[in-house]
Structure 1
Amino acid sequence: MCPENNRGMEPAQKERTPFSDIDGLTTEMSEVVLTALTEMGRHPEIRRVRRAGFDALRPALGSRLLDAGSGSGEVARRLAAEVGPRGDVIALDHSAAITTAAVARHDDSNVRYVTGDVGALALPGDSVDGVWCERVLQHVEDPDAAIGELRRVTRPGGRICLIDTDWDSLLFDGMPRPLQDTLMGYVAGHFMPPYRDMGRTLRRRLLAAGVSGLTATPVTCVFGSPDSAAVVLPMVNPRVPAGAWQTPPGLREEWLACVEAAGARGDFLAVLTIWVVAGTL
């Protein structure tokens, strides 16, 4: 049953998403987040976004690169292959648990894994030739300060590539709109970060930071089934524990039933735009 209703209840907001403090999560949620990071890296649409990022960053042989917010390290290892044996990559992540998982997956490439704060990098100025920062700034408290740090550690002539989501672009088809609006009102503050518009603001932020030659590429991810969407969109993933939803009784179940029904009919659709913005110092 998938009624078109509006419960008329005020949404419960939460200021930070699970990705903002992975080390502070329960063991169950920490495992969910790590699994999500791994599965996202394998998803064809996220790989399409990353291909646009590699084209924009243009990593050169022998370069030293920083992957700021490196997660489980798959991008850092790919960048290490691009820069070759004379280059190297610093894979930095705020979470000690995620860094440990990245070290466990190391493939002997020239990657050094460290924990640290993208807003206060323990690196000297002008120490890297390029920066990759993917879907991180939407979660930090002061994204412009973080961009300032990325700029500080990048040498003149170096490249900065920022990749982030425009969560305001998220749209669904196949489910009743009133139910969508009600559900999103509750989960937006928990499943979506405070800077929901981060993707489309990256160009302006880099321009203000003095980065030139900017390119801005919107990549619209298309998810044609609930299983595909669930990898990237937690609000359609039934594996996310019920306690993480912050919704009134029954709303999560009603929404997921509608998602499942749309998938069974074949008319489920979700779209989300992720921006790739890069420039030169």
Structure 2
Amino acid sequence: MKPAQMDRTPFADLDSQPSEMTAMLLAALEAMGRHPEIRRVRETAWQALRPRPGERLLDAGSGAGDVARWLATKVGPAGEVVALDYSAATIAAAVQRHDGSNVRYMTGDVSAMNLPAGSFDGVWCERVLQHVDDADAALAELIRVTRPGGRLCLVDTDWESLAFDGVPARLAATIVADMHGRLTPRQRDMGRTLRRRLIRARLSDVTATPVTCVFGDPASAAVVLPMVNPMVPEAAWTTPPGVRDEWFSYVDAAGARGDFLAILTIWVVTGTVG
């Protein structure tokens, strides 16, 4: 999994980062996975995927493996979960966190996986497609490795849904526009395009559920939204001089008053492979 980020480069190419940065990014992944709003998104996705005992599942873009290990509790000892991530450092961290469950960890590219066709009963892919160059090519690979009748569960962000209240609208618009400038249009709206992509790929029983994440204070928002996190290095910001400090002064003031609000929609989309 790739988390929300101010600059997608460190997360998209984690193996090239200094060890201190890698450790920080992995800690961010784990904190995000514990956040109540992200857990709410995942609960929606788990209910949609419906993992069953004995199934073989793929977690494509598995991060530190927390979802893969949860899936392993559902498929039981007769099943298996393959946790695949592009980053060798992330897979190494996942192996260190392994709890003895039936999970196999491997590095790989979701757009070109070294896995047999039709070898999985289901696939989970969370907040990955927004980072790849060709989401439809990656989707074709996920479909290829899923058996007929198997289920795909895709989870991704609609960054264009991001909105704030309690801070000046013109300043929030500047911050959001800065983040949007770092992402291509297909990456900004990935979440809401997933239903269309599955329909065009001729999957059946397609369902699409928007989950609006609500962050009522800056500390909560900072776990998921890097533009609210003062720990994100100043060098990562590309806003004009002074804008970052002005932004955080308003964010802090809104937090102190209790009227800060940030909202972001993440989509859960499933379909059955024919």
Scaled to the shorter chain, the TM-score interval is over 0.9
Quote the residue 1:58 is aligned against: 50
- Counterparts of residues 187-226 of structure 1 (less than 5 Å): 187-190=179-182, 195-226=187-218
Q: Helix, strand or coil: the match of 2:241? A: coil
Q: CA deviation at 1:174?
A: 0.5
- Counterparts of residues 122-271 of structure 1 (less than 5 Å): 122-190=114-182, 195-271=187-263
Question: C-alpha separation between the residues in 2 aligned to 1:131 and 1:241?
Answer: 35
Quote the residue 1:9 is aligned against: none
Contact 2:7 2:236 in 1 (8 A): no
Question: C-alpha separation between the residues in 1 aligned to 2:167 and 2:267?
Answer: 26
Amino acid at match of 1:206: L
Question: C-alpha separation between the residues in 2 aligned to 1:191 and 1:145?
Answer: 18
Amino acid at match of 1:56: A
Question: C-alpha separation between the residues in 2 aligned to 1:172 and 1:235?
Answer: 11
Report % sequence identity.
Answer: 66
- Counterparts of residues 109-124 of structure 1 (less than 5 Å): 109-124=101-116
Greater relative contact order structure (CA < 8 Å, 6+ sep): 1
2:100 to 98, 105, 108: 108
TM-score (norm 1): 0.92
Quote the residue 2:3 is aligned against: none
Amino acid at match of 1:172: F
Give structure 2 stretches of 5+ with no counterpart: 1-5
Give structure 1 stretches of 5+ with no counterpart: 1-13
Q: Helix, strand or coil: the match of 1:171? A: strand
Deviation per CA, 1:18-70, whole angstroms, max 9, x where unpaired? 32211123444323321211001000000000000011101111000000000
Contact 2:121 2:147 in 1 (8 A): yes
1:81 to 42, 48, 73: 73
2:266 to 274, 278, 281: 274
Count of equivalent residues:
268
| Deviant stretches of 4+, over 6 Å | none
Question: C-alpha separation between the residues in 1 aligned to 2:95 and 2:226?
Answer: 26
Is the alpha carbon distance of 1:15 and 1:221 closer, same or farther for their aligned partners in structure 2, counting shifts above 3 Å?
A: closer
Question: C-alpha separation between the residues in 2 aligned to 1:190 and 1:28?
Answer: 24
